[in-house]
């Protein structure tokens, strides 16, 4: 096996029913430049390692290995977009098969898409939460200019305006909704500790979804490690869920 393939397969490693934080999924929402990755790295716990769901992991992996530029005018997506999406789908299928805790990384600017994904996970048995990153537009614009994967400013402004109108709606729809202020100087130690405690409590708390509670009980009773060990699921079924997840 060549080194490229070996490193790729390491990104697809799964766990099982006994992994900590199973059947928990938390959305990280905010505009480009809001600092989602930065906030996530500051508030996540080392005790539980939720898997991050987005295309960035494989985009960066392929670009680095093939020495491809990821600037906005790059041809990366034209040449490697389909491959990146397939790898991302395969990875998410394995995560769901193992019931792993998830971080869903995105702007959440499209509530229809966001709640289609929420519905998919809830129907399997997941509890869901959302961390909402508050960032002023001017701050987001300045941070965007310093990003390696800078997005066009007009797109950033459009998305920032869209999601600003959606915050109260998402707050009303998620039982577990946490806000983090991330303008300059706001994410101090006290703010980080407060957010960490809320998120850590979500991932460490017992599963509340009735479907999930019954699923865990049945799988442990029958000695099942993965969803595909059960009568209700196969990898074909899981991949159908994932195809609906990425439906445009």
The residues spanned by each domain of the chain are 12-245
Q: State yes or no: pLDDT of 7 exceeds 80.
A: no
**If we measure between CA atoms, which residue out of 117, 127, 122, 130 comes closest to residue 22?**
127
What integer pLDDT is reported at residue 3 of this predicted model?
52
What integer pLDDT is reported at residue 2 of this predicted model?
52
Under 8 Å between Cβ of 127 and 177: no
Q: State yes or no: pLDDT of 114 exceeds 50.
A: yes
Q: State yes or no: pLDDT of 214 exceeds 60.
A: yes
Helix axes 137-146, 153-164, angle to 10 degrees: 140
Q: Give the chain's mean pLDDT.
A: 87
Q: State yes or no: pLDDT of 100 exceeds 90.
A: yes
Q: State yes or no: pLDDT of 10 exceeds 60.
A: no
pLDDT band, residue 72 (cuts 50/70/90): low
Least trusted range by pLDDT, from 66-70, 109-113, 165-169: 66-70
Least trusted range by pLDDT, from 44-48, 168-172, 190-194: 44-48
Q: State yes or no: pLDDT of 137 exceeds 70.
A: yes
Q: Which residue has the tokens 């001017």?
A: 138
Least trusted range by pLDDT, from 25-29, 42-46, 122-126: 42-46
Q: Looking at residue 50, what DSSP letter applies?
A: P
Q: State yes or no: pLDDT of 198 exceeds 70.
A: yes
Under 8 Å between Cβ of 134 and 182: yes
Q: State yes or no: pLDDT of 248 exceeds 90.
A: no
Look up the CATH number of domain 12-245: 3.40.50.300
86 versus 243: which is more confidently predicted? 243
CA atoms of 232 and 229, how far apart (whole Å) = 9
DSSP letters for 135-174: --HHHHHHHHHH-TTPPPHHHHHHHHHHHHTTHHHHHHH-
Q: State yes or no: pLDDT of 247 exceeds 90.
A: no
What integer pLDDT is reported at residue 237 of this predicted model?
96
What integer pLDDT is reported at residue 6 of this predicted model?
46
Report H helices in the chain.
3-10, 36-43, 56-66, 76-97, 111-124, 137-146, 153-164, 167-173, 189-204, 210-222, 235-245
Cβ neighbours around 46 below 10 Å, total: 5
In angstroms, how far is CA 122 from the centroid of its own chain? 15
Q: State yes or no: pLDDT of 134 exceeds 90.
A: yes
pLDDT band, residue 59 (cuts 50/70/90): confident
104 three-state secondary structure: strand
Report yes or no on whether pTM surpasses 0.85. yes
């Amino acid at each position: 096996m060549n080194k490229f393939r070996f490193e790729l397969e390491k990104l697809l490693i799964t766990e099982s029913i006994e992994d900590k934080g199973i059947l928990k999924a938390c959305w990280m929402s905010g505009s480009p430049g809001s600092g989602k990755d930065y906030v996530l790295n500051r508030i996540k716990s080392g005790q539980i390692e939720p898997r991050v769901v987005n295309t960035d992991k494989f985009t960066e992996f392929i670009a680095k290995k093939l020495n491809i530029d990821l600037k906005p005018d790059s041809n990366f997506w034209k040449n490697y977009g389909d491959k990146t999406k397939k790898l991302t789908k395969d990875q998410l299928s394995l995560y769901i098969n193992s019931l792993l805790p998830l971080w869903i990384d995105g702007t959440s600017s499209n509530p229809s898409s966001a709640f289609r994904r929420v519905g998919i996970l809830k129907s399997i048995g997941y509890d869901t939460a959302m961390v909402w990153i508050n960032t002023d537009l001017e701050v987001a614009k300045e941070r965007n200019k310093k990003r390696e994967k800078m997005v066009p400013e007009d797109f950033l402004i459009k998305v920032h305006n869209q999601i600003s109108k959606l915050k109260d709606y998402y707050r009303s729809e998620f039982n577990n909704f946490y806000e983090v202020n991330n303008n300059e100087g706001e994410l101090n130690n006290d703010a980080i500790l407060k957010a960490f405690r809320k998120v850590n409590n979500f991932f460490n708390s017992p599963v509340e979804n009735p479907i999930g509670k019954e699923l865990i009980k049945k799988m442990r009773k029958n000695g099942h490690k993965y969803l595909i060990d059960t009568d209700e699921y196969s990898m074909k079924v899981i991949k159908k869920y994932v195809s609906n997840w990425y439906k445009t």
